[in-house]
Amino acid sequence: MSKRIFTKERIEDLTRNPHVAKCSEKSITYSKDFKIRAIKLHNEQGLSSSEIFRQSGFNLSMIGRKTPKECLKRWKKIYKSKGADGLSEKRGTNNPNGRPKTKNLTDAEKIKRLEAKVAYLKAENDFLAKLRAKRAE
């Protein structure tokens, strides 16, 4: 993660750019249209990532010199695997295999989750018992 911190003035300046969806002290969220346009400009016209960002009104010394290259690399990977719809997803939600949410569960949901865990552990124990039996033969 970058160590840059945007001041209020820089945040205001960045949010005026039509290619920025939102901006905080630590991160910039670019619009889906900009991401798609950047990928197409890079692939079809061979423009460098820095040139694409410069032409789109970004100050590279403000956002970071490496940012365009890193962003474009990440966007191309997502575009290749998930298409244009993948670019609208927020950061952190691209991986469905993350840890399941356990906060704010109702008692019924907690019971259901624990019952599933017990069933999984029973199946695992059965499998291991069969494996041990085969090894003993």
Sign of the Cα pseudo-torsion (91, 46, 41, 68, in order): positive
Q: Which residues contact 118 (CB under 8 A, 6 or more apart)?
A: none
3-state SS class at 66:
coil
Write out pLDDT tens, residues 64-106: 889 999 999 999 999 988 888 888 756 555 556 667 677 788 9
For residues 25-40, give the mean pLDDT.
Answer: 92
Nearest to 2 by CA among 26, 25, 30, 29: 26
Q: How far is CA 56 from CA 5, 14, 60, 100, in A?
A: 22, 11, 11, 38
Share of the chain above pLDDT 90, in %: 63
Distance CA 65, CA 78 (A): 22
Banded pLDDT at 127 (limits 50, 70, 90): very high
pLDDT surpasses 70 at 2: no
